[in-house]
A and B are shown apart, each in its own frame.
Chain A
Amino acid sequence: MTPPRGSLERRKARAAWWFLAPALILLAVFFVIPVGAGLLLSLTDFDVYAIGSPKTARFVGLSNYAHLLQDPTFWQAARNTMTFVIIGGPLSLSVSLAAALLLNSKAIRLRGLFRTIYFAPVVTTLVSVAIVWRYLYHPKYGLLNYLLGLVNVGPIDWLGDPHYAMPAIIFLAVWKNFGYNMLIFVAGLQVIPQDLYEAAALDGAGPLKRFRHVTLPGLAPTFLFVSVTTMIGFFQVFAEPYVMTQGGPLGATRTLVLYMYEEGFRWWRMGVSSAVAVLLLMITLVGTLLQMRAAKRSEA
């Protein structure tokens, strides 16, 4: 009675396409095609007039890119974004790892409660907490300056001083995000075999040595995953500067995505804006490849 093997395979394959169709069509229409169109759009002078009549848009080759590479605002946005990624990313990962190590030690009481508390900022709404932190950073009434004043520091004009605005935004991002990678590190720590620690202890390795020679190598795959995903996410920073500083003061917190948003949706220079997005994609790709290569090299 069972149908021959080949026909069952065919039946499964046919069903697979039906099951996949909704997802693949949606991804194609609303993601793949727009991304491809984004690449093309970046080669045109699509602007506010072209929205009404797309025919007025012309192919301009790479001139949007040439324009951007000579535009100091673009370079400032690129620098700000790199600062956010290069300082904020590792800082966030360090806090995540530290929190994971704390939670992982055996005799902790109320482990679940601490884990929930540390994770809570992750699920909060970014816009809301950015507004909260805007007040916490208030130069006169903010809680942060009050606490710093108790130890005779400041007052610092966190969001008004170009030197402090980006650090302030990084600090918020670390507070908001560290819980996510903390959980991934906790999971990574749990799969490191306990024997390895015991063997290292028998060999006379202290806690620091065990951390360096057992914990860190054991976490290597986790590290690659969290550093790549964190980097990709951090490259796209937008809501924090939009809500807290509007990119100011003096452009000190204008990031690439904020710049892209302003060009595209405030001034409707969609060609230039797409070029910013494509450059962001290329930077992200380079960053990802560099990290994967670094991970491979440290493995060898």
Chain B
Amino acid sequence: MSARPYRGRRNTAKATSMILLHVVLIIGAMATLVPLGWMVAASFMTAGEANSLPPRLIPSHPTWDNYVTMFTRLDLLKHFLNSAIVTVAATLLSVLVNSLAGYAFAKLPFPGRERIFKGMAAALVVPAQVGMLPLFLLLRQMGLVNTYAGVIVPYMASIFGIFMIRQYALSIPDDLLDAARVEGAGEWAVFRLVALPVIKPILVTLAAFTFLSAWNDFMWPLIILADSGMYTLPVALANLVGEHVQDTELMMAGSVVTILPALGVFLVFQRAYVQGIMSGGVKG
């Protein structure tokens, strides 16, 4: 469409800007990855090597020693299992509780639905910290301080999770549900046999979200777990760095072990996870 003589120059300009764009993207990717890459590299270095000048990015004699120490002397496996138990339980319960509620908000009209829904939206602004002290005292009364159940409690019902399910469940065709009702299915059967298969993708998304936030959470487990044997990985790590701050390589091995499951779950469920964020933001 443009005048011919300019075409060549325009193409070079376009190519230059494309190269420039990719250079910027690569610099950004390096800036993002260097801290994580250094963490992995340092975790395989021999004691003291991470504190050398100029800084090393590649271990000169790669070794598993730091991981061995972490899992033997520092008992990281116990904390890993604590984290795993808490996270898996939280994820399963959250998917169950929130899918029921989200489906009801989307597909089962009842008096007061709008009002409850608006109240829950307003509650999203309230920082969890406001309730943390009374929650601690309450769980103390219930004997749940220093237990897995005490850690899991706040993750079970999530307003965010309910909204996510509701948004998706709105797309279930009413005819589909009514057809099952006409055939005599009760509401529970309608949910389990008709609705659940349709909303399965969003359940995966919610599971990934809950898994990552429970696995990575720090403040609540720090508060509710008193005995170091019960610590989840992040709490154990924050505790270890106090006494082992000089042992850079060891701490990096601990960080890798903590981050790896989170990163792994993300990479496996990336599509579901990313779509959850992208749809939430636009409709939110």
Name A18-47 residues within 8 Å CB distance of B. Answer: 18-20, 22-24, 26-27, 29-35, 37-39, 41
Is B187 within 8 A of A11, CB to CB?
yes
Interface of B is mostly: helix
Q: Considering the chains assembled together, what is the distance between the CA atoms of A135 and B43 in angstroms?
A: 12
Q: Which residue of B lies closest to A179 (CB)?
A: B32
Interface code B209-223, partner A: CB below 8 Å = 1, 0 otherwise? 000100110110001
In the complex, which residues of chain B have a beta carbon less than 8 angstroms from the beta carbon of A70? none
Interface code B1-22, partner A: CB below 8 Å = 1, 0 otherwise? 0000000000000000010011
- Comparing A58-66, A82-90, A183-191, A208-216, the segment that makes contact with chain B is A183-191
A158 proximal to B (CB < 8 A): no
Is A34 within 8 A of B131, CB to CB?
yes
Q: Considering the chains assembled together, what is the distance between the CA atoms of A13 and B188 in angstroms?
A: 13
Question: In the assembled complex, how far is the CB of residue B22 from the closest CB belonging to chain A, in whole angstroms?
Answer: 7
Interface of A is mostly: helix
In the complex, which residues of chain A have a beta carbon less than 8 angstroms from the beta carbon of B50? 135, 141
B104 proximal to A (CB < 8 A): yes
B129 proximal to A (CB < 8 A): yes
- Comparing A71-79, A99-107, A161-169, the segment that makes contact with chain B is A99-107
Count of A-B contacts with CB under 8 A?
289
A290 proximal to B (CB < 8 A): no
Is A270 within 8 A of B284, CB to CB?
no
Is B53 within 8 A of A146, CB to CB?
yes
Q: Which residue of A lies closest to B282 (CB)?
A: A187
Interface code B23-42, partner A: CB below 8 Å = 1, 0 otherwise? 01100110111111011001
Q: Which residues of B contact A (CB under 8 A)?
A: 18, 21-22, 24-25, 28-29, 31-36, 38-39, 42, 50-55, 96-98, 100-101, 103-105, 108-111, 113, 116, 120, 123-138, 140, 153-154, 156-157, 159, 162, 181-182, 187-188, 191, 212, 215-216, 218-219, 223, 233-235, 237-238, 241, 248, 251-252, 254-256, 258-259, 262-263, 265-267, 270, 274, 277-282, 284
Nearest 8 interchain pairs by C-beta: A184-B281, A34-B131, A15-B187, A23-B101, A37-B134, A16-B108, A26-B157, A187-B278
Other A-B pairs, 19, CB within 8 Å; known A22-B96, A243-B238:
A12-B109, A13-B109, A15-B187, A16-B113, A26-B157, A31-B128, A35-B134, A41-B133, A114-B29, A121-B35, A128-B39, A135-B42, A175-B31, A175-B32, A184-B281, A277-B133, A278-B130, A281-B130, A284-B127
